[in-house]
Structure 1
Amino acid sequence: MEKIGILGGTFDPPHLGHLIIANEVMCSQELDEVWFMPNQEPPHKKKSNAVTNRNRIEMLKLAVAGQPKFKLELIELERPGPSFTYDTMKLLMENYPHKQFYFIIGADMVEYLPKWHNIDKLFEMINFVGVKRPSYNLQTSYPIFYSEVPEIGISSSMIRKRLKEGGTIRYLVPDSIRKYIKENYLYES
């Protein structure tokens, strides 16, 4: 049975932290692939309205280019309304019954697990892999796997803020994404 990692998020924009997490978890958990899954409307936070879903998809395509084990999964963008992990994973398991899923979450989401929609049912369906994030705790009573990942304090909100203020994002995102952002006038003030 193939082991598939799922890395969900707004990816607004995707950055090197996302790619490092995906690669490190893929290696440490011996996953066959990692699917990047941009969400439509995360229930726990609002995504910025700075870019379209099409922009986020194009940036993700650029981010995963050159790594054949990284794929895009657009199931959440194909459904309207809030993206609840439970509903999404039910659909993915129906569509891919011979795959075992590992949902990758940062320590910020590990702390938030008790508030997730249908969390107990979700733990019966899939595995969770937690990774460290600066200023968050990885402790939980839920049975999750852990992967050691270098703590990199890059966030999409920090990148958007820098761009709005005219700052540099070189070495925070792949060059292809930096060029795409510039060519499409994204995140400008």
Structure 2
Amino acid sequence: MKVGLLGGTFDPPHLGHLIIAEHVCEMMGLDEIWFIPSHVPPHKQESSISADDRLVMVEKAVESNPHFFVSSIELERKGKSYTLDTIKELDAQFPSYNFCFIIGGDMVDYLDRWYRIEELKRLVQFVGVGRGGSSNAADGVTMVDIPRIDISSSMIRERLSNKQSVRYLVADQVNDYIKENALYAPES
């Protein structure tokens, strides 16, 4: 089984995440893509939305694709979400699976700064997706071109805080969940 892992805060998950997953799955000949919401990513601030809400939104975002699944492995572990720990745990749980880890082109340029990167590169193949702002050249990274979609979670949060629509930027089920739970509502 060949599985692509797509980690992130998914705060919120958006169509760009789904496009990345679909293209990498197809281009790399993968059987599945597992979305892995992080508890506390080492390179970002903690989310203002609960881990439970982010998990539910990712589940809703991927539910219509039979090749997409969600793993709560990092949310269950708590603390900082180091990719090395996740890969070691997944390798132990699924020894016959072949994992690759999907990163945005912007992260390719910073891969050498990741926690214990040389050890990590021995354990997992990295797949970088072509996005603006990256040299797209890093040792040990297979690059996959994807359509350029300028959607980001921060842009979506900003639109929501300004009471603007995010329809067609997130899956309908995610948009409904955000509205039903008043997530990202502007501060009063």
Alignment TM class, shorter chain as reference: over 0.9
Match of 2:132 in 1: 134
Among 168, 171, 178, the residue aligned to 1:174: 171
Helix, strand or coil: the match of 1:78? Answer: helix
Match of 1:160 in 2: 157
Match of 1:6 in 2: 5
1:106 matches 2:90: no
Helix, strand or coil: the match of 1:128? Answer: strand
- Map Cα deviations across residues 29-75 of structure 1 (whole Å, 9 max, x no partner): 000000000000100111321x1111111111111111111001111
CA distance in 1, matches of 2:118, 2:133: 26
Contact 1:134 1:153 in 2 (8 A): no
Helix, strand or coil: the match of 1:21? Answer: helix
Match of 1:21 in 2: 20
Match of 2:46 in 1: 47
CA distance in 1, matches of 2:152, 2:146: 15
Paired residue type of 1:65: E
- The CA deviation at 1:79 is 1.0
Among 169, 172, 181, the residue aligned to 1:184: 181
**Which runs of at least 4 in structure 1 moved beyond 3 Å after TM superposition?**
none
Helix, strand or coil: the match of 1:36? Answer: strand
Give the CA RMSD over aligned residues: 0.9
TM-score between the two structures when normalised by the length of structure 1: 0.96
- The CA deviation at 1:13 is 0.4
Match of 1:90 in 2: 88
| Aligned residue-pair number | 186
Contact 1:133 1:153 in 2 (8 A): no
Helix, strand or coil: the match of 1:7? Answer: strand
CA distance in 1, matches of 2:163, 2:85: 39
- The CA deviation at 1:178 is 0.7
Structure 1: unaligned runs, 5 residues or longer: none
Contact 1:86 1:118 in 2 (8 A): yes
Contact 1:8 1:36 in 2 (8 A): yes
Paired residue type of 1:172: L
Match of 2:57 in 1: 59
Structure 2: unaligned runs, 5 residues or longer: none
CA distance in 2, matches of 1:24, 1:106: 13
TM-score between the two structures when normalised by the length of structure 2: 0.96
